[in-house]
A = this chain, B = another copy of it.
Amino acid sequence: MSQRTAQRGRRLDLSEAGIVEDTSLAGDVARRLEEDILQGTIRPGQRLDERELSERYGVSRTPVREALQRLSASGLASARGRQGLQVAQFSVADLLDALSVVASLEALAASQAARRITQEQRAVLEAAHAACGAAIAEGDYDAFYTANIGFHDAIASASHNRVLQDELRRLSVKTAPYRRAITFQPGRMPQSQPEHAAVLAAILRNDAAAAGERMAHHVSLLSEGIADFLHFVRSSEHAGLFKDEA
């Protein structure tokens, strides 16, 4: 004898469905801000003014504030005391540390993906790899940037580890401005393809240990790219990307 009456036909029981999409304005604003950070429209260190954002998005300050709270909690924005928030800005040391965390998690993702990937996801992963190759062949940096994200996302999905996906997404957005800059380093783009291929092959043959190892290696090379990249920072449009302090 259930105390709860049967669900009405015209209503869907969302509470049991698990993930419900967020239709709130705060969620929209948060997603737009994340997207703008990912795409480089908003740069690290930039100040986030509540009133300005509320006017730009045509909403009141309340949902904007709530969105900023989310970004702050995710580490995408940092508080400046009573003076509002700004987009998180890494020092060089912080960035290297962040990439070490990313490497560790990406390796775990690749390792678990090697054990858990489904048949359909194999196809998706191969397609993402092919898209990377196509972008390289055409020398299209923007396309490669997007395709590369797709490749890593496909691996994260194949890991079937929701917690891991959440963490990786968070860190990806945080490090996106910097990874983007590295992508545009000459030579970096074609270099990544054989690394991707090695990871892909290991996953497809369900070799978890090798997949993790190859992925860790791949992301580590990203860190090495930082050293090269640093030589361009001061004199280029990338100035201001880093926090002054070391």
Contacts and interface: CB of A to CB of B under 8 A. Distances in A.
A236 to B, nearest CB: 14
Nearest to A105: B104
Given A16-B243, A46-B10, A246-B18, A163 B167 contact: no
Given A108-B101, A162-B94, A79 B20 contact: yes
Interface in A58-80: 62, 65-67, 69-75, 78-80
A160 B107 CA distance: 21
A1 B58 CA distance: 12
B73 A162 contact: no
Interface residues of A, number: 64
A244 B16 contact: yes
A83 interface: yes
A101 B69 contact: no
A176 to B, nearest CB: 14
Interface string A152-164: 0000000011111
B83 A14 contact: yes
30 contacts: A1-B55, A4-B49, A4-B52, A8-B46, A10-B47, A10-B240, A18-B245, A20-B80, A20-B81, A22-B79, A23-B82, A26-B69, A65-B66, A66-B69, A70-B70, A71-B73, A73-B74, A75-B166, A97-B160, A97-B161, A100-B108, A100-B161, A101-B105, A101-B161, A101-B163, A101-B164, A101-B167, A104-B104, A104-B108, A167-B167
